[in-house]
Homo-oligomer: A and B are copies of this chain.
Amino acid sequence: MGAGDLTPGTLAPPVPRPLVWEEGCVRILDQTRLQGEEAWLECRTVASVADAIRRLAVRGAPAIGIAGAYGVALAAHTGEPLDAAARELVATRPTAANLRWAVERVVRAAAAGRDALAEARAVEREDEQACEAIGEYGAALVPERANVLTHCNTGMLCTGGIGTAQGVIWTAHAQGKRVHVWVDETRPVLQGARLTAWELQRLGVPMTHVADGAAASLMSRGLVDLVITGADRIAANGDVANKVGTYGLAVSAAHHRVPFYVAAPTSTIDLATTAGDDIPIEEREPDEVRSAAGAPVAPPDVPVANPAFDVTPSSLVTAIVTERGVVRAPYPDRLRALTGATA
């Protein structure tokens, strides 16, 4: 498949949407089974949507926001109490800011007498538009020829559009820039290997898949021009929570004077979180680390720490790319201005 066949507006065929609403049912692509097969979960209750989010059938901060929004719409459709539904949905993933933001937005809309489903659709559509804008702003930061290193999955499978960090990569590629992507496999859940590599192959973007431990030596060999990742929550001071492994990349990028960019919609910015230390880091099941793609890799009873995220201090972040523009330090004032908040 040639990349020339695709433009940011016509991406539906090569990569499926992470979820769709169909007459009282949230159909969620089961990303835990991707590559093996394209299997869809039919969620007709809030509990089933919450379960799909919890076990990562749908993942990525913007996509779980959209899933949460449709979860509330589902509650409105079936007559489940919205407050309880919202609590159940928000509790599934404690780190991502977008989930709470989207769920609360739909609950507020319904409380104000507006249609919950229309509000969920708006959340999704706005995320699609945000991705396109992030792509445009971010692509301007990408040189004409660039080796770009990314971590986890930030593409079409985890947003309402072309993706965040991956939307930047895709837009630069679609603009004709000579982009080559280093894809970190992203242990333990392997979102880079399973999802980003799969998406980029379908999109025809040149890429090479590497173990997470290889990233720093790629930088030392001059093979990385920039690092770009997504974010699960951005604190008021610009500290960024993202998939575990991101922080180490930021430290290495700083050591090698490689720009480290974060791409995220403004719904990821949580001004109520003062700094990274205040972001709750989800500790997930030890078996995610004891196994890989279902195969055991360590003794079955070995003690494990499995923080799903880490925090990168704003001092290591070269710039944050949002749908409203590119923000650089000093972050506190500029993030506040960007989101329209008053001091």
Q: Which residues of A contact B (CB under 8 A)?
A: 35, 151, 182, 184-188, 190, 193-194, 197-198, 201, 207-218, 220, 243-248, 251-252, 254-255, 289-299, 301-307, 310-311
Chain B CB within 10 A, most for which of A184, A297, A307: A297
A193 touches B298 (CB 8 A): yes
The answer to whether residues A216 and B304 also contact, given A211-B289, A292-B297 and a CB cut-off of 8 A, is no
B305 touches A216 (CB 8 A): no
B297 touches A190 (CB 8 A): yes
A303 touches B211 (CB 8 A): no
Which residue of chain B lies nearest to A200 when distances are taken between CB atoms in the complex? B302
Q: Is the interface of A mostly helix, strand, loop or mixed?
A: mixed
Chain B residues whose CB sits within 8 angstroms of the CB of A307 once the complex forms: 214, 217
Other CB < 8 Å A-B pairs besides A207-B302, A292-B292, 8 of them?
A187-B212, A187-B213, A208-B304, A209-B302, A212-B213, A213-B244, A214-B310, A218-B305
Return the contact of A306 from the options B211, B218, B297, B310 (Cβ within 8 A): B211
Instruction: Please provide the 4 A-B residue pairs with the shortest distance between their CB atoms, ordered closest to farther.
Output: A213-B245, A216-B248, A292-B292, A295-B295
